Homo-oligomer: A and B are copies of this chain.
Amino acid sequence: MRSNKKYNVAVVGAGGLVGRTMVKVLEERNFPVNELQLFATERSAGKEINFAGKSYKIKIINRDSFKNIDIALFSAGKQASMEAAPLAVKSNCIVVDNGSYWRMNPDVPLVVPEVNPIAAKEHRGIIANPNCSTIQLVVALKPIQDKFGLKRVVVSTYQSISGAGQKAVDRLLNEIGDETHQSEYKHRIAFNTVFHEFTDDSGFTIEENKMFNEIRKIMSLPELPLAVTCVRLPTLGGHGESVNLETEKASSVKEIRDALQKHDGIKIIDNPSEDDYPTPALAMNTDDVYVGRIRNDTSIQNGFYLWVVSDNLRKGAATNAVQIAELIIKNDYFEFNSFL
């Protein structure tokens, strides 16, 4: 561990909801930044963003942008992941990419530091940050898998529209104020529930498919029986997940709670008699995964319910990416054999 070293860090997509949160989280966690570079698409270029009391101008990426950068955190859309991430890797810069483009690539580790930190070691230039709804679920499932084994997981999500970016949040706020809103969109967001974009023909949404694939990859459980329904809500931040699971080994609510309680990154809030449970509003602007409503599901053997909540822009995106960067510097995972 090079404990006093400082690093040159880039945030790519610094003008977006996740990018701005990445900059904020780097500062909050005292990430050892030597030099910070902010990049974005043309739309955000020129904007100024604050970091550690100093203002930084967002620049457009060019061929030399990553020459001097140690770690680049990407959250800038598919094209940037496809084109700029390899450019960075070729400049010997490690990329932590929040986009979905690289996640299922067998040469790219998909990492949640509380779940599969060791996977980061094998990186070949790019480490992928999982989908928001995946991250909070695997954090909650990991200690249960380790101790009791997972037989089947059924999850229905309650996801903030903030996961669709600033434009979607603006749409929600506009629709709330305008009862007669004649939208160009088929479904209104305000006072409603909507689904993510559908895949071509399976009947599932892209978000649901991400969860199927990513959960199995991160947990190294390629056959895990999983049922997933993803729903978007008119909330400003924080995702909820209603989880039903069956364990392989017999266990009790107390044992499940104990296993969760001991795990890094989990906070249990579960006191029904005091009306204490996690909510999206409570999770916002924090970095933990909250678990509540742990109870027995007697409709099946070894059945349990969980309610899992986390801030989708932080632990579900920016914080997890920064934690991956911390993992890299802590373990000195800088040497890599590029696959590009």
Hey, which bits of chain A sit against chain B, CB under 8 A? 152-154, 156, 158, 176, 186-188, 191-195, 198-204, 225-227, 229, 231, 233-238, 240, 242, 244, 253, 272-273, 275-277, 279-282, 293-297, 299-300, 303, 305, 307
Chain B residues with CB below 8 A from A156, complex form: 156, 229, 242
Minimum CB–CB distance from A214 to chain B (whole Å) comes to 16
Chain B residues with CB below 8 A from A204, complex form: 295
User: Is there contact, CB below 8 Å, between B227 and A279?
Assistant: no
User: Is there contact, CB below 8 Å, between A273 and B192?
Assistant: no
User: Is there contact, CB below 8 Å, between B193 and A154?
Assistant: no
Chain B residues with CB below 8 A from A237, complex form: 191
Chain B residues with CB below 8 A from A300, complex form: 152, 225, 227
How many copies of the polypeptide does the oligomer hold?
2
User: Is there contact, CB below 8 Å, between A227 and B297?
Assistant: yes
CA–CA, A238 and B277, complex, Å: 24
> Can you show 28 pairs from A to B with CB atoms below 8 A apart?
A153-B299, A154-B154, A154-B244, A154-B299, A156-B242, A158-B193, A158-B233, A176-B176, A187-B275, A187-B279, A191-B235, A191-B280, A191-B281, A192-B279, A192-B280, A193-B233, A193-B279, A193-B280, A195-B277, A198-B272, A198-B273, A203-B253, A226-B299, A227-B305, A229-B305, A229-B307, A231-B242, A234-B235
Minimum CB–CB distance from A289 to chain B (whole Å) comes to 16
A158's partner among B152, B231, B277, B299 (CB-CB below 8 A) is B231
Chain B residues with CB below 8 A from A176, complex form: 176
CA–CA, A142 and B236, complex, Å: 37
Q: A193-B279, A234-B234 are in contact. List 15 more A-B contacts (CB 8 A).
A: A152-B299, A152-B300, A156-B229, A158-B231, A158-B233, A187-B275, A188-B281, A195-B293, A198-B275, A202-B295, A203-B295, A204-B295, A229-B293, A229-B305, A229-B307
Chain B residues with CB below 8 A from A191, complex form: 234-237, 280-281
Minimum CB–CB distance from A2 to chain B (whole Å) comes to 43
User: Is there contact, CB below 8 Å, between B192 and A281?
Assistant: yes
- Can you name the residue of chain B whose Cβ is closest to the Cβ of A276? B186
Chain B residues with CB below 8 A from A158, complex form: 158, 193, 231, 233
Chain B residues with CB below 8 A from A303, complex form: 227
CA–CA, A137 and B299, complex, Å: 17
Chain B residues with CB below 8 A from A227, complex form: 244, 297, 299-300, 303, 305
User: Is there contact, CB below 8 Å, between B193 and A240?
Assistant: yes
Chain B residues with CB below 8 A from A153, complex form: 299
Chain B residues with CB below 8 A from A242, complex form: 156, 229, 231, 242
Chain B residues with CB below 8 A from A244, complex form: 154, 227, 229, 244
CA–CA, A296 and B281, complex, Å: 33
- Can you name the residue of chain B whose Cβ is closest to the Cβ of A294? B203
CA–CA, A275 and B288, complex, Å: 34
A273's partner among B154, B200, B275 (CB-CB below 8 A) is B200
User: Is there contact, CB below 8 Å, between A186 and B226?
Assistant: no
Minimum CB–CB distance from A108 to chain B (whole Å) comes to 26
